[in-house]
Amino acid sequence: MPAHGLAPAALFAMCTAFPIQREHDAGKPYARHDLAPGIADGFLIRTRQPALTTTVGLWPLLGMCVQSIRVRILQVTDDLGVGGSQAVVVQIANELSARGHAVTIAAGQGPLWAEVHPEVSQLQRPGGRLPLHRLMPVTGRILRSASWDVVHTHQRGVSLATSLTRPRSCAVHVEHVHNTFTATGPQRWVSFRGQALIACGSAVASMLINEFGRPSSRVNSIPNGVPDHGVRRAPRGGVNRPLRVLNIARVDEQKDPERFIRVIAEIHKAGVSVQATWIGSGDLLEASRNTVRKLGLEGRLHFPGAQRPAASAFRDADVLLLTSRHEGLPLTVLEAGAAGCAVVSPEVGSLGDAIRGGENGWLYPRQATAATIADQLIRAHAVGGEWDRMGSAARREYEQRFTMDRVVDQVEALYRRLLRRDDR
């Protein structure tokens, strides 16, 4: 029966009760050599997804109606090493799979594969990042291996390779932007070519529009979020106790551990009892440990290396202190909020989206000296109950804005909107 012969109520009923089904070849076996030409060991394939259908509503003349979409989603990044963007990939994939979508992650090796839920299919290749000339054929074969509805990429090289090799059978390319970058030379033209761009914070969205010239209609601001890890900071009350400072981050140039060390040294020099810990690994780990020894801070400042899960450290912390040179919206700030821990951070990237000065922490100027930062921390510590007050506000902010459910609701709505436009 032609659609225009039905009353609006009947059209809506048909959209809901009698969806069109578009079959996919989810049961197609993946052969190692079919997926990764030029990589000797091929991919480690783990798939537990049954054959599936994508359900798309009919399009009545009086409006569009997409109901009960079960989407076949490919999440792609360069590796699953320990990092914020990699954690976002895993968390979004796990949640989308729990909501009934058919989700696959394709990436190089890394410890975060252990956190991928068994319902999520895995295309795991040896190694980490590949140069573009090797990445393109690998990406192209993955994209052609199944009829993906959405390809969601999380790294600039992977995103460019996807844009250049994406077949028509891939309906939508969503590119997730996790950090701020400088628009220099040809990078301004080749970066961020996805059909839809997800900005993890306001600074990232501004960069995409104002520095890279991407249309605002393609930029979707979806702040990062984190699952509730269940750890709660223990209230600590008065001031006659050590100031406990924490950071959880890679130990590398971007995160600037040297500045963190200098802040702790200034607090110690001021005669304030302090216990500080930086959890994470990276290129500057050994150099940072050597600096701690040179400054005589052993017993005051510890660099234990990577620990997973690291969230348990929030239980005894007064404050999460970031010293980064640049950022997007780091997950460790949101994890601190989930634990009810205040955050002190430089005013970089989208950190102002999560930190409300004087309420759940504060921002300091990016050029602030170690002595200035230390003085601010000492003053806050001298006020009885100040860390507890800001920690409670941090928890409220997390519950209102940064839960994983809120993030995936927005991602799912974006997929639905783009698929509706593609089927129009």
- Residue 59 scores a pLDDT above 80: no
Provide, rounded to the nearest whole percent, the portion of the chain with pLDDT above 70: 83
Lookup: tokens for 159: 């995103």
Q: Among 18-32, 65-79, 309-323, 394-408, where is mean pLDDT lowest? A: 18-32
- Predicted confidence at residue 171, as pLDDT, reads 76
Confidence tier at 422 by pLDDT (50, 70, 90): low
Confidence tier at 35 by pLDDT (50, 70, 90): very low
**Side chain identity, residue 262:** R
pTM of the model: 0.81
Q: Residues 108-124: pLDDT tens digits?
A: 999 999 999 999 999 99
Lookup: tokens for 143: 């994209």
Q: How far is CA 123 from CA 37, 61, 165, 202, 216, in A?
A: 14, 41, 18, 32, 33
Q: Over the chain, what is the mean pLDDT?
A: 85
Provide, rounded to the nearest whole percent, the portion of the chain with pLDDT above 90: 70
**Going by DSSP bridges, is the β-strand pair 20-23/53-56 parallel, antiparallel, or unpaired?**
antiparallel
Lookup: tokens for 418: 């783009």
Rounded to the nearest 10 degrees, the angle between the axes of helix 285-294 and helix 257-269 is 20
Q: Residues 165-180: pLDDT tens digits?
A: 988 767 799 999 999 8
Confidence tier at 251 by pLDDT (50, 70, 90): very high
Confidence tier at 239 by pLDDT (50, 70, 90): low
Distance from C-alpha of 218 to C-alpha of 221, rounded to nearest angstrom:
10
Confidence tier at 16 by pLDDT (50, 70, 90): very low
- Domains in the chain, ordered, with CATH? 33-48+68-225+404-423 (3.40.50.2000), 243-401 (3.40.50.2000)
Distance from C-alpha of 346 to C-alpha of 368, rounded to nearest angstrom:
8
Q: Residues 260-283: pLDDT tens digits?
A: 999 999 999 999 999 999 999 999
- Residue 40 scores a pLDDT above 50: no
